[in-house]
Structure 1
Amino acid sequence: MLGRTPLDAPERQQEVFAAVLGVLAEVGYARFNMDLVAGRARASKASLYQRWPSKARLITDALKANLPELPQPDEGTFAEDVRQILLAWGEPTPFDTAGIFLGLLEGSRQDADLACLREEHVDRAYTEHLRVAVDRAKARGELPERLDADFLITALISTFVLRSEEQGVIEGIVDGLLRPLIGTFRAK
């Protein structure tokens, strides 16, 4: 029955957020709409709009509510810190991570509000741990001071998300990419 459990109730809100992330992963941002979410979440479109005035805000709230618990490892090397961070990201989730990521990229190009909200509330949660690891690696001399941390972090996140369904992606990133690059830097 519609409206029996208010959208403020945590379990009801999680149902809505699961519907949001499922729809975003399946149809992308351009085709994402409140009708699709309402149908999947068994909610009225009006109640969704009362609580979330835009699809950008609804998507951002769904993402914030489903951010994984991320560690800040200190394994002594950049490669091992990255391995631990990626392992935490790779924990099984009920959502299509690659589909959500692609939907966010598409939406961020079309909707400045989504881009700002995503950057402020979601990106930082993922990049913060990598930024600390990069800073520590620079201080230990593993990475050059002039290295652009933003590009490295973007490359790590993009590679992981876009290839997350592949077997051995973490080992490929850490052992096949980072370790040889770090070794090349240290050899100079």
Structure 2
Amino acid sequence: MKHFSITGFGIFFSVLFFYLLGNSYSTATGIQKVWAFSKSAHVGMIPDPRFLWNPEEAINGYKFENSYYPIRSTRGVVFDDTNRIEYPLNAKGYLEYKKIGSEVNFYTPSGEMFWTKEYRSYPRISPTGNLVLLIAGDHNQVILSDINGNVTGAGKIDGRFLTDYVF
């Protein structure tokens, strides 16, 4: 019992002195960027003088809860239950589409609409942003598109069930 009272007084006075006599340290008020680097892939999230790759210029953004945050912007793009966002890892801009809809929109990093195309498919974009797969809801049709929304390559692939894709 004696140890509890000594410990209790110690904690009480520590908190009392900490808050009443002032704290010279400022509290954290925001989100700190935490970065990582892979030597084998030469890809990282912090500028490294050994490599010419700057992640803050190359990496596009990230999703958190119901928002998409571009790396070079301080504000996020909020989307609701019906809207979806797809974005390339190493290219700028993002695709917006509805869960049940008839069009796909591409936005620039500043939030301006670059193009709108009439597609009833779900877009999946490559990490470099060069190729967009527009996959039908039942995965039996795939339309190949470039970043400008124009059909490219084989164009439309019908009658195959898409189960796995790698860029």
| TM-score above 0.5, yes or no | no
Which structure has more relative contact order (CA 8 Å, sep 6+)? It is: 1
Normalised-by-shorter TM-score class: under 0.3
> What is the TM-score when the length of structure 1 is the normalising length?
0.21
Who wins on radius of gyration, i.e. which is larger?
2
